[in-house]
Chain A
Amino acid sequence: GAGVSQSPSNKVTEKGKDVELRCDPISGHTALYWYRQRLGQGLEFLIYFQGNSAPDKSGLPSDRFSAERTGESVSTLTIQRTQQEDSAVYLCASSLTFNEKLFFGSGTQLSVL
């Protein structure tokens, strides 16, 4: 039963490598969100999905970031050619539908060396 599941919980990578972060939302939740939280900072919106489409990609910081969602379920956030400033906790949340309360996963701590 399940809540929102994210994997991996921790990822250490070298600068320049690509990383893929995964989010499994609560079953039946149609909306899925990605946020980034740097140490000691607030939540920064990245992207959200309604079903499999992403109406709002405005928060993606650069073209190195991309995300997709398939089967109205799992989503992956991909960061290409990682930089040290990408180091943060990446949080995924889902909601029953858009504008409903969000339920968060425990996040992926990304460290770029």
Chain B
Amino acid sequence: RKEVEQDPGPFNVPEGATVAFNCTYSNSASQSFFWYRQDCRKEPKLLMSVYSSGNEDGRFTAQLNRASQYISLLIRDSKLSDSATYLCVADNYGQNFVFGPGTRLSVLP
């Protein structure tokens, strides 16, 4: 079983749509969680950290459910510039950060 799993995608949505990505992690001891975005042939860039209470940054909302070991990212009013691959990340406590395989999003005009 992969340590971090994500919806495979791709997600093709029209501009203005709301889209949700899901992610599960296998290490119950994980403490730190993030969403990164990666544009084609570029390095990953931090989108947002994920906190237990849930957190919002503009059009983006992240949620964490520790009991289910599940993380989500919601994007509202999607823009063309949101097209990218979204990576879910969990720490493998005491070892390293594990990245999910990513979910590709294409926002269509």
- Interface positions of A (Cβ within 8 A of B): 33, 35, 41-43, 45, 48, 55-56, 58-59, 91, 99-107
Contacts and interface: CB of A to CB of B under 8 A. Distances in A.
Interface string B71-92: 0000000000000000101010
Contact of B95 (A35, A56, A104): A56
Interface stretch (B20-28, B60-68, B98-106): B98-106
Contacts, number: 50
A55 B94 contact: yes
Contacts of B98: 45
B32 A100 contact: yes
A58 B102 contact: no
A107 B45 CA distance: 12
Nearest to A6: B43
Interface of B: 31-32, 34, 42-46, 49, 87, 89, 91, 93-102
B46 A102 contact: yes
A95 B53 CA distance: 23
B31 A105 contact: no
Contacts of B96: 33, 45, 48, 56, 58-59
A12 to B, nearest CB: 17
Nearest to A4: B43
Given A99-B31, A102-B46, A33 B95 contact: no
A59 B96 CA distance: 9
Contact of B101 (A33, A42, A56, A104): A42
A107 B42 CA distance: 8
25 contacts: A35-B99, A41-B101, A42-B87, A42-B99, A42-B100, A42-B101, A42-B102, A43-B87, A43-B99, A45-B97, A55-B95, A56-B94, A56-B95, A56-B96, A58-B96, A91-B43, A99-B91, A101-B32, A101-B46, A102-B44, A102-B46, A102-B97, A104-B43, A105-B43, A106-B43
